[in-house]
Amino acid sequence: MPELLQRLQTRLNSLPDGLQAHIYRVRDVAQELAARHGIDPDRAELGALAHDVCRAVPGDDLLKMSAELSVPV
């Protein structure tokens, strides 16, 4: 998972500052919740960091990516 987190971090660094701040706040809350409820903190962190990673991608580009990956929309 460290490689995945590293790749995700690279992607996050290219996002607008406000979106990055939001994602990191979500990560902090996810880590608190994971500790409170006995959830794997690494999985909580990964989910939190990835949850809005494509938010800044235009809709047409997302549709193109989903078609290329055969993801139904």
Buried b / exposed e along 47-69 (16+ C-beta atoms within 10 A): ebbbeeeeeeeeeeeeeeeeeee
How confident is the model at residue 5, as a pLDDT?
A: 87
The count of domains in the chain is 1
Q: Domain span at residue 48?
A: 2-68
Query: pLDDT category, 2, cuts 50, 70, 90?
Result: confident
Instruction: For residue 35, tell me if it sits in a domain.
Output: yes
Is 43 part of any domain?
Answer: yes
Question: Considering the domain boundaries, does residue 54 fall inside one?
Answer: yes
**Largest Cα span, the chain:** 40
Q: Is residue 45 part of a domain?
A: yes
Residue 55 has φ and ψ, to the nearest 5°, of -55, -35
Question: Taking CA 15 as the corner, what is the angle to CA 57 and CA 24, rounded to the nearest 5 degrees?
Answer: 120
pLDDT recorded at residue 46: 94
In a domain, residue 73? The reply is no
| pLDDT digits 0-9 by tens, 17-71 | 999 999 999 999 999 999 999 999 999 999 999 999 999 999 999 999 999 999 9
Query: What's the predicted TM-score (pTM) here?
Result: 0.80
